[in-house]
């Protein structure tokens, strides 16, 4: 996409949000658009998984619309406005900062070190000291718990979770079947698996915090 088309999208969004534009677009807020951001993201994922090239182009455009829409709404904030230019500048600066092996000629041994450098730079930039700092609690429970496990391992915190051992053999099919079985068990007993797993995530976070505060890992 050329720069002129990106600027055209800025102008279209400005027209829609300005007086004489679209009443629906004008009354939207960051909060009211959350469901659309999620929906468009899932539709783009569907297009990827079905290798629908035309669908990918269309749905990626819908995701891009959400970025521009939120940025245009942000321009109207009375005390802390920002624009799509600010958003683009921030992400470009972040990419440069997080890729010292590209922009500063830092020598790395491979992709694992690249990932480790990214995480270290991110933690330093955001002043993170806890394993749970910066974890998005609003994400679905399954990726939330997965992220908690990842952070716990990265920060050297051993979680005490009944029924789980690293010695057990696992493959994608077996894990998928086990997860589906647990979800079926929950439904059979009238338990919402999302709520149950989210409650467990809160317990895991409390366990991590307690261990960090006591100095025991």
Domain segments of the chain as ranges:
3-82, 89-127, 131-214
Residue 12 has pLDDT above 60, yes or no: yes
Mean of pLDDT values over 121-126: 89
Largest CA-CA distance found in the chain, in angstroms, rounded: 65
pTM above 0.85, yes or no: no
Enter the tokens of residue 11. Answer: 């102008």
> How confident is residue 147, by pLDDT bands cut at 50, 70 and 90?
very high
Residue 38 pLDDT: 95
Residue 82 has pLDDT above 70, yes or no: yes
CA–CA gap between residue 170 and residue 148 (Å, rounded): 19
Mean of pLDDT values over 48-68: 98
CA–CA gap between residue 182 and residue 164 (Å, rounded): 14
Range with the poorest average pLDDT among 31-35, 52-56, 96-100, 152-156: 152-156
Architecture in CATH of 3-82: Orthogonal Bundle (1.10)
Residue 216 pLDDT: 65
Convert the pLDDT of each residue in 160-208 to its tens digit.
Answer: 775 566 666 778 998 899 999 999 999 999 999 999 999 999 999 999 9
Mean of pLDDT values over 45-70: 98
> How confident is residue 123, by pLDDT bands cut at 50, 70 and 90?
confident
Residue 166 pLDDT: 60
Convert the pLDDT of each residue in 164-176 to its tens digit.
Answer: 666 667 789 988 9
Residue 170 pLDDT: 79
> How confident is residue 53, by pLDDT bands cut at 50, 70 and 90?
very high
CA–CA gap between residue 61 and residue 185 (Å, rounded): 40
């Amino acid at each position: 996409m050329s720069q002129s088309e990106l600027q055209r999208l800025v102008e279209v969004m400005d027209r829609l949000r300005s007086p004489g534009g679209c009443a629906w677009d004008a009354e939207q807020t960051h909060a009211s658009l959350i469901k659309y951001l999620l929906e468009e993201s899932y539709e783009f994922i569907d297009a990827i998984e079905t290798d629908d090239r035309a669908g990918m182009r269309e749905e990626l455009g819908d995701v891009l619309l959400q970025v521009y829409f939120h940025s245009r709404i942000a321009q109207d904030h009375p005390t802390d406005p920002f624009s799509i230019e600010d958003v683009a500048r921030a992400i470009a600066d972040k990419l440069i900062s997080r890729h010292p092996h590209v922009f500063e000629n830092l020598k790395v041994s491979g992709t694992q070190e690249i990932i480790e450098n990214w995480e270290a730079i991110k933690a330093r930039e955001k002043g993170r000291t806890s394993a749970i700092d910066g974890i998005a609690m609003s994400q679905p429970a399954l990726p939330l718990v997965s992220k908690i496990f990842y952070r716990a391992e990265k920060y050297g915190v051993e979680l005490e979770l009944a029924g789980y051992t690293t010695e057990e053999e696992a493959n994608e099919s077996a894990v998928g079947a086990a997860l589906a079985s647990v979800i079926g068990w929950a439904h059979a007993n009238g338990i919402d698996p999302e709520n149950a797993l989210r409650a467990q995530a809160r317990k895991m976070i409390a366990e991590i915090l307690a261990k960090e505060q006591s100095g025991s890992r």
